[in-house]
Structure 1
Amino acid sequence: MRVRVLTIGLLLATSACSMTPKLTLPTPPVAATFPLEMGGEAVPEWRGMFGDARLQALIALALDENRDLRIAALNAEAARAQIHMQRAQSLPNVNLDTGYTRQRAGGEVAAGQTSTSSGQFTLQVALTSFEIDLFGRLRAQNAAATERYLASREGQRAMRLTVISAVADAYLAERLAEEQVRLTDATLADWQASLALARRLHDAGQSSGLDLAQAEGQVRQAEADMAQRQREWQQATNALTLAVGAPIPADLPSPVDLMAQPIQTALAADTPSDLLTRRPDIMQAEHELRAANADIGAARAAFFPRLSLTGAFGFASQALQTLGGAGNQSWSFAPALSVPIFRGGELQASLDLSRIRSSIAVATYEKTIQTAFREVADGLAARATFTDQLTAQQAAMEQAERRLALSGLSYQAGATSRLELLDAQRTVYAARQALLSARHAELTSATALYRALGGGV
């Protein structure tokens, strides 16, 4: 018995061979530095990035309710369960089997004799088809399952970052739409007052019908714009509700206007190599690459023999009360060696497929790095130009407002035509809209850079 135990132990100890190739991560296919190098604040946790209390409440709600994030979390749990299932194949299956068998001997029964029958009780602990992992096939499969679980965890982090930035973008779009409604409403009120003045002047014979028609046309256009802006606001609210994953609560803090939004717009980008450990999607792609490499090891090991063990130790007796007696012990030991000879090319095709999938994983990993580099570079380029754009747009709006004030005085004095006043009013309206749009673009660009840098998740 001791010799058998030592034999099994030696067989288990031989499972040290591995067919998995050594993995060397490819060199990142991007430049060593970004096109623009800028200092700034380190990437903060999301609450530090988005200082608007209303936006913070919406993001917190989304992290609890968003269905995409919930699916990603469930996928991670499924991958963890897959690890346990895969590891279980590397462990022996031990069963406790009990039974009772009764049988009757065959043949004719002579006159005056009775038929004979016998019964047997059994109790044994059985080891069923336990594979000795001589060439690392099971270990490679375990490694692949583990890497895919880690990839799913990084995928969950990536989805969390996506949800945060999606809610922020949807919130900013909703703020822009609401402020454009307010701007259009105020502009409409101004133009209606201007129309009333034009009617009085026309009734007094101090202006032509053309001036009145121009004023009426301008008001009708503003009314059309108002209907469009209200529709866009409602659609933006619907998009925000979808991003959050739940109805918007009525007791949220008051919103902050776009021009006063406390979103950090000066984030620091170090080097592209920092993205390799910060961006969850890159880390996810790396784990997928490692899993694909482990699959090659499992496919290679499938070409080699498989050794499995089946054994049992227990008791057998015709009487239940004597089942545990020393003389009723029973055991069996059945090692089996399976050598693949002909599989119709299946094993080679499986190995080829594993190598192709590994090449795909390498290309995916490299593409993910390139995409990350481009997104950060775009964010830095936007950051470098938005300050100048907003300054110029602010000055253009102020100049348009001064022109409007002067045109109003000149028109009332009869020094200029109604057309000049209408043009000045439209210019102010357009300049105010452009300033709002530019500020919105700056904030969404900052959110995109935050996401590109890996966020603080």
Structure 2
Amino acid sequence: MNSQTFGPGASTHALRVGVSAICVAALSACANYAGIHSDKRIAQPRQFETNRSLPAEHGSWPTADWVRQFGDAQLSALVAEALRSSPTLEQAAARVRLAWTYSDTAKAATLPRVDANYSLTRERYSGTALVPPPDGGSWQTENKALLGLSYDLDLWGKEREALKSAISQAQASEADAQFVKLTLQTTIARSYNQLARLYALRDIAVQEVARREQIDRITAGRIATGLDTQEERKIAQANLATSRAAVAALDGNISSTRYQLAALIGAGPDRGLSIARPALGSSEEVRLPDDLPADLIGRRPDIVAARWRVDAITHDVKEAKAEFYPDINLSAAIGLDAFGFGRFLTAASRTASAGPAIHLPIFDAGELRAQLKGRYARFDDAVAAYDQTLITALADVATQLGRIRSSDAQLVEAKAAQQAARSADALAITQYKAGLTNQLTVLNADLAAFGADQAVANLEMNRRDQQIALASALGGGYVDASASAALADGAARTGSVTAAR
């Protein structure tokens, strides 16, 4: 640490000469960051092959109220309730506020600071030291009041880069909060669709109970005519009990899913009991929007957050580089300083000081270089995290689209199989009544029809679940145009950070 103080009349020319000399010394003899750099670049969507997996289909991006596409007012109301009261969203909002307080703190470091201080000290001064008699060797009360001003010139932009980094981190937190919101909406929609699935399966199970009751009655009639024995009756009753147990199990799952939905929206379990049976509409045709890979980076909040973090660490690197240069801080103070109270408010008690304080790192045993290397390591990590987020997002969209296309194809065949199984089941019942076949044939036909109904119901619910997942993969209506524009302007800067050689 090397400091120098100038009086109020010090020459400005002398200060400039002194600063220039310090800069020359910094470049020639002091700590430097030569050889420390990174050549990493964030990935661009166009570098990935997506034309076949993500074709342009002239579709539309999801809107902010994308859950409305399923035509269920209760689902929209549950999502709106969650956005108002979910503790998960409140936590995310608190993290955003915290991030912005860090930026406010960083901003304060770029501005002048004014402080007022007052102290009263009762002290006995040595009679053989610096203070001469009569004060030396006696007890004195010192009153001191100072008004101080300090300002870091920030010639190399260290504080400004710290502020930019804090702002980018806050922007990343904003995007993170939007991702939490999207995740919550998606989870509620998928859980609600699961509730619809359970109700559909329960309807099939209830129909199965009715069918087994019918078989039991027919079997009783056949026993009376000598066509069947009590063994067939016991089998029919056992199958009936099994079907009724399946209905009870589905009722339990329905209750559990309602409780889960209540927890997701931030309410108690009783709120779940008031959730009515879902009335979701049929699945619509799915078509991807054009320019999907390129536009996705501004519509997926997790990608936006990852890119803001790359931007933040870019500024951290520049801040670390500025640490190698001289730090000049201007300070001034004016006040009163006197022994006792009688002379405290007199002109003779006035005190004042002004001047620069200059800090120049000369030998720090490699601390600054290690710090800069660490920043570059964090930068490389952030670039890799961004790349992985982008790759995962593209794969997510392609996966959900592929699943939807597969479900559409499966549904065609499953519905054909369902129709055939129902016809076979009806024929078996008719023949059983007429005594033309046995109970085993009826049960086999019944199981086939029951399985076909379940397969169609599950495929329809799977298809809607995949449609929900695709809307989420496309960003769920999120658009961060300001962030995209700002980051696009700084693409060259965030794409590659290279230290001066």
**Which bracket does the TM-score occupy, shorter chain normalised?**
0.7 to 0.9
Task: Please say if 1:126 is aligned against 2:148.
Answer: yes
Amino acid corresponding to residue 404 of structure 1 in structure 2: D
Greater shift after overlay, 165-174 or 401-410? 401-410
Task: Please say if 1:43 is aligned against 2:75.
Answer: no
State whether residues 30 and 373 of structure 1, in contact with CA within 8 Å, keep that contact through their aligned partners in structure 2.
no
Cα distance change on mapping 1:392 and 1:138 into 2, 3 Å: same
**1:253 CA drift (Å):** 7.6
Amino acid corresponding to residue 192 of structure 2 in structure 1: Y
Cα distance change on mapping 1:21 and 1:121 into 2, 3 Å: farther
Match of 1:450 in 2: 471
Determine which of 64, 88, 91 is the counterpart of 2:111: 91
State whether residues 42 and 384 of structure 2, in contact with CA within 8 Å, keep that contact through their aligned partners in structure 1.
no
Task: Please say if 1:30 is aligned against 2:48.
Answer: yes
Q: Take 1:74 and 1:307, find their aligned partners in 2: how far apart are those partners?
A: 36
Match of 1:269 in 2: 289
Match of 1:289 in 2: 310
Match of 2:79 in 1: 59
Q: Deviations over 1:186-228 (max 9, x none)?
A: 3112202211221232133122345334323422332342343
**1:96 CA drift (Å):** 1.9
User: Would you say how many aligned residue pairs link Structure 1 and Structure 2?
Assistant: 443
Cα distance change on mapping 1:10 and 1:159 into 2, 3 Å: farther
Cα distance change on mapping 1:119 and 1:357 into 2, 3 Å: closer
TM-score by length of 1: 0.85
State whether residues 174 and 240 of structure 1, in contact with CA within 8 Å, keep that contact through their aligned partners in structure 2.
no
Match of 1:136 in 2: 157
- Identity %, equivalent residues: 25
Greater shift after overlay, 66-75 or 281-290? 66-75
Q: Take 1:226 and 1:412, find their aligned partners in 2: how far apart are those partners?
A: 26
- Give the 5 Å matches for 1:214-293: 214-247=235-268, 249=271, 254-257=276-279, 260-261=280-281, 264=284, 266-270=286-290, 271-293=292-314
Aligned residues: CA RMSD: 3.4
**1:88 CA drift (Å):** 1.7
Task: Please say if 1:410 is aligned against 2:438.
Answer: no
Cα distance change on mapping 1:252 and 1:40 into 2, 3 Å: farther
State whether residues 182 and 476 of structure 2, in contact with CA within 8 Å, keep that contact through their aligned partners in structure 1.
yes
**1:246 CA drift (Å):** 1.4
Match of 1:112 in 2: none
Amino acid corresponding to residue 111 of structure 2 in structure 1: L
State whether residues 122 and 317 of structure 1, in contact with CA within 8 Å, keep that contact through their aligned partners in structure 2.
yes
Task: Please say if 1:336 is aligned against 2:357.
Answer: yes
State whether residues 295 and 354 of structure 1, in contact with CA within 8 Å, keep that contact through their aligned partners in structure 2.
yes
Q: Secondary structure at the match of 1:313?
A: strand
Q: Deviations over 1:323-358 (max 9, x none)?
A: 777776531024222222333332222111111110
Greater shift after overlay, 230-239 or 63-72? 230-239
Task: Please say if 1:388 is aligned against 2:409.
Answer: yes
State whether residues 393 and 431 of structure 1, in contact with CA within 8 Å, keep that contact through their aligned partners in structure 2.
yes
Q: Take 2:449 and 2:107, find their aligned partners in 1: how far apart are those partners?
A: 69
State whether residues 194 and 215 of structure 1, in contact with CA within 8 Å, keep that contact through their aligned partners in structure 2.
yes
TM-score by length of 2: 0.78
State whether residues 134 and 306 of structure 1, in contact with CA within 8 Å, keep that contact through their aligned partners in structure 2.
yes
- Structure 2 gap segments, 5+ residues each: 1-6, 21-32, 129-136, 479-501
- Structure 1 gap segments, 5+ residues each: 109-114
Cα distance change on mapping 1:266 and 1:403 into 2, 3 Å: same
Amino acid corresponding to residue 390 of structure 2 in structure 1: I
